[in-house]
Amino acid sequence: MINRTTLLCLLVAVLEGVDLQAAGVAAPKLAPALHLAPKELGAFFSAGTIGLFLGALVGGRLADRFGRKAVLVVSVALFGVFTAATALSSDFTTLFLMRLATGLGLGGTLPNLVALAAENSPSGRSGGAVSLMYGGMPLGGAIVSLIAVFAGMGGGFDSWRTIFYVAGGAPLLVLPLLIRALPDSQAFRAAAADGGARTGILAILFGGGRAVETVLLWLAFFATLMVLYLLLSWLPMLMTERGFTKPQAALIQVMLNISGAIACAVTGPLLDGPRRFGYAVTVFVGLAVFLVLLAVMPANLTVALLVGLGAGAMVLTTQATLYAAAPACYPTAIRGTGVGGAVAAGRLGSVVGPLLGGGLVQAGLSAPDLLLSLVPLVAVGGLLAVLLIRRQLRRQL
């Protein structure tokens, strides 16, 4: 049975998924409304990513000092307030600052969701709890796409502002529930007396025999998030190049998010115990296969939706695999800092991925060739993830 902590973390993850993709969904109407040049729009997106990177580092570190719940509540309040405030922006400077502050809140949220889900789960079931929680993020991405559709149907308001009002208001409405009903991590409370928060960051990440696992985790996150964010950023355009209409391409992307959310929820229990080694091999091999299928499939919507469902399930369960493995790399008292560092490494990959896609498109690669070029990245990420899980399983014996 799913416990209260996991359900509340899942709810917050859905809201984070909404906010993460709100900027991209709002951009087509936001840019002309505020007369943004392409360079300014790119800076707006980058502001959120910079905030995410810094927020993950700082939020994880503060969680080891002040507790998971306290930092999570502050982070949710931050991204709720500043997402809503983004809707009030009337110029580029304000827009940039609001997105930067939003990113700080979003970045501080995820390491604490991972730690709370793992530390408050029944013994031996942390992997399934983390995977279920993470599945809320792609679900949130699908929801914000639907919000954009309905917002665009109204004629009496600025639809891009409505997206930010909804995406920012929802977390603020949930805050009282988190304050009242979300338990803190008792495992962290018990371990905090060991002085983990006073340990140096380098010692946390690379001391105590953790250097190899930290490096494997960081590189695996970097490689796989490059693939995920390249797909999220470029898949609609790649599908239109393959002959699909824009609404059909958008539908394929929504299906990718929904199937990923379902797959994380359904297969999460396989991430507990020795089965997670075979699970990791399966999802990374599966992702490579579905990328090839995306590249070679005919321009048939039914086929594309089925392949998109499979690709979404695979690409998002590779992420769930790493998020489930991250807490086991670090002792409880320093887990926030460790997981925050891994999340930050992944955020760098999320920056490089879309830039890589843009560079490959500019170099003249066709949609099939671009998709096929991702397979080596998947292979590298999969190898690193499998080595990490194998090392963890050996350590537990």
Closest by CA to 53, choosing from 350, 283, 263, is 350
Q: pLDDT value at position 197?
A: 53
Residue 362 has what pLDDT? 77
Report pLDDT for 181. Answer: 95
State both tokens at 227: 């693939």
pLDDT of residue 156: 42
Q: Which residues of 212-246 are buried (b: 16+ CB within 10 A; e: fewer)?
A: ebbebbbbbbbbbbbbbbbbbbbbbebbeebebee
Write down the pLDDT at residue 95.
92
Per-residue model confidence (pLDDT) at position 157: 44
Nearest to 26 by CA among 89, 72, 80: 89
Q: What was the pLDDT predicted at 31?
A: 83
For residue 391, the model assigns a pLDDT of: 93
Whole-angstrom Cα distance, residue 210 to residue 173?
Answer: 40
pLDDT at residue 40, as a whole number: 85
pLDDT for res 192: 67
10-residue stretch averages of pLDDT, the chain, 397 residues long: 87 93 82 84 84 92 92 96 94 93 94 93 87 92 76 55 91 96 84 63 88 96 90 79 81 87 91 91 96 90 92 93 93 91 90 81 82 92 96 85
Candidates 147, 34, 148; CA nearest to 89 is 34
Ordered by where they begin, the domains of the chain are 4-396 (1.20.1250.20)
